[in-house]
Every structure is written in structure tokens, then in C-alpha cells.
Amino acid sequence: MAKATDGEVNEKKISNSEEMDLVLDGGFVVPNANAFGHTFRDYNAESERQEGVENFYKTNHICQTYDFVKKMREEYGKLDKVEMGIWECCELLNNIVDESDPDLDEPQIEHLLQTAEAIRRDHPDEDWLHLTGLIHDVGKILLHPKFSKLPQWAVVGDTYPVGCAFDDSIVHHKYFKENPDFKNPKYNTKNGVYSEGCGLENVLMSWGHDDYMYMVAKENKTTLPSAGLFIIRFHSFYAMHRSGAYKHLMNKEDMENLEWLKIFNKYDLYSKSKVRVDVEKVKPYYLSLIEKYFPVKLRWFTG
């Protein structure tokens, strides 16, 4: 597996006319604003999506219980319903918009390619990371009406552990008070059903596209390095990789992979702009990466 220190990202400020742009190592310049003209991940910004995003998280936080997650993992982990290639799934995302995202209202395939291409420019030798950028949100295929009947709150949004206390840093934390696990002594302590340093592989995360795509990739025997699988499963775990929460559950391998996730996260977040990608132009490159790291057809579960 690649070493985390090979691609460390340093943030620095440079002057651009009268504005200050964030520049990542390699030259990717972060837009000054998201697709709505606001700062990134500002859940309090006055926008047409603000109310909808908050309502989304209210339902999400009430319904994502330990028992619900176990049920979803057991059901969707069967992967016995459909065989389909990764690019085919990417194309199905064209008509899907993530209701939990305060930064983006473009079709998901646009975001996947924006992320992948930004990483490719700055880290040309890490092709596994380019592919991870492309497929990290493919699990959102669960939102497609022909693929699943799951509601948005069970597919997208920030993720967090279930089976232990909900950390205060989780967005819209106040709504957890209505979650049945919130007052359950089995689940509401710091460690809950887990032990210190048990490793995130052994922790149940709120159910959604991250965990689903992780299971699809792993069970279809991808040859992506463990850092790639870690990124796929935990890229929406903002309480951990942006706020430092839940470090007590992590082991040594988690800490190493976290460095790659921090690199990836900058591109995942800050590439959400109106800059378009020529899909047909870059398609051959990503098809070659899919062929390198995945079987031609993958097994999926639809519900």
C-alpha cells in the first residue's frame, strides 16, 4: 500500500486579485465559493436548500439506529440481485441529486469526475486514488428508482458510528435526542458496544452509500489498496476526519489511512463547483482504471 507521507497536502494562501484562494499541493486552486455562491459546508447559509438539508438531517438522526444499520448491512450485503459494471452505474447517477449536500445541485457523475480529475492533476502517479475519486459516491445508485426504494436519509449525508454516543460535532446533533439509541445505556456511552482501539473496520456506521459501496468493492474483490477502501467507507465521516472525534476507536492502520482520507477530502469537498468535465474525453482513462482494479461485472443488491 502507498505510504501516506508520499502525498501529504499542505494548504497555503496566495493572492488572486483582491481575493484569497486556497491552493493544494500540485496546483489545484479551490473555488472561492460552492455551486450556490456560499462558503463550503455552511449549513446555516441562507439558501434555497438550507431548510431541506436541515429537515433531511432531522429524519436521518432520528432513524439511524444500531438495529436499523444491522438490518441494512445484512440485507444489502447479500449482493445477489444484479450484475453491472462500474461505469454503467456512474451513468445511472446522471439524474440523481443529493438532498443532504449544501454545496452542490449538479448530477452526481459531474461531482465524481470533478473530484477524480482534480486528484489526477495533483497526484498523477496515484492512479488508485484517481479511481477512488471516481467511484467514492457510486453507492448513491441506491437513490435510483430502478435500483432501490430507500429514502434519501438512508443513502446520503454525513455518517457517524452507531452503537455508541453520538458526538457533539456531528452536524445538527440536536436531533439525536429523538433517536431511540440516545437514551439507551447500551449504546449511549463513549465506547458503547465497542472497545478502545478496536479499529473502525469493526464499527457500525450509519447506513448509506459509503458503507454500501465499500461492501460492493470488498466483496467483489477489488485490488484497490486498503486506503482506497477506507476512503470509500469513511469519506462522509466528517466528525472523525475534520473534527477529530472517535479517535479512541481507531487502530494503527486507521490512523495511516486517515492521512490519505484527509488528502482526498479536500478534493471531494472543494471540487464542487460549476466547472464542467468533458465526460467522453476522460472516459477511456477511467475505463482503463476500472479494468485494472475491478472485475468487468460486479455483484450488487437492489431493494
Q: What is the pLDDT of residues 226-279, one digit of tens each?
A: 999 999 999 999 999 989 999 999 999 999 999 999 999 988 876 555 667 888
Binding-site residue set for substrate: 41, 98-100, 140, 157-158, 235-236
Q: Is the pLDDT of residue 15 over 70?
A: no
Q: Which pLDDT band holds residue 100 (cuts at 50, 70, 90)? A: low
Question: Domain ranges in the chain?
Answer: 11-300
Q: Is the pLDDT of residue 4 over 50?
A: no
Q: What is the distance between the alpha carbons of residues 76 and 302, in angstroms, rounded to a whole number?
A: 7
Helices (H) and strands (E) in the chain, counts: 10, 4
Contact (CB, 8 A) for 73 and 204: yes
Binding-site residue set: 41, 98-100, 111, 136-137, 140, 157-158, 209, 235-236, 268
192: left (phi over 0), alpha (psi -120 to 50) or beta: left
- Burial category of 260 from C-beta neighbours within 10 Å (exposed 0-12, middle 13-18, buried 19 and up): buried
Percentage helix, strand, coil, to 5, in the chain? 50, 5, 45
- Give the pLDDT score at 147: 86
- Give the pLDDT score at 275: 66
3-state SS assignment for residue 110: helix
Binding-site residue set for Fe cation: 111, 136-137, 209, 235, 268
Query: Of the ranges 39-43, 204-208, 257-261, which one carries the lowest mean pLDDT score?
Result: 39-43
Percent of the chain scoring above 70 in pLDDT: 78
Q: Is the pLDDT of residue 23 over 60?
A: no
Q: Is the pLDDT of residue 286 over 50?
A: yes
Which carries the bigger pLDDT value, residue 179 or residue 273? 179
Q: pTM, whole model, 2 decimals? A: 0.83
Q: Between the CA atoms of 281, 284, 287 and 288, what dihedral angle is there, to the nearest 10 degrees?
A: -140
Q: Is the pLDDT of residue 135 over 60?
A: yes
Q: Which positions ≥6 away from 74 have C-beta within 8 Å?
A: none
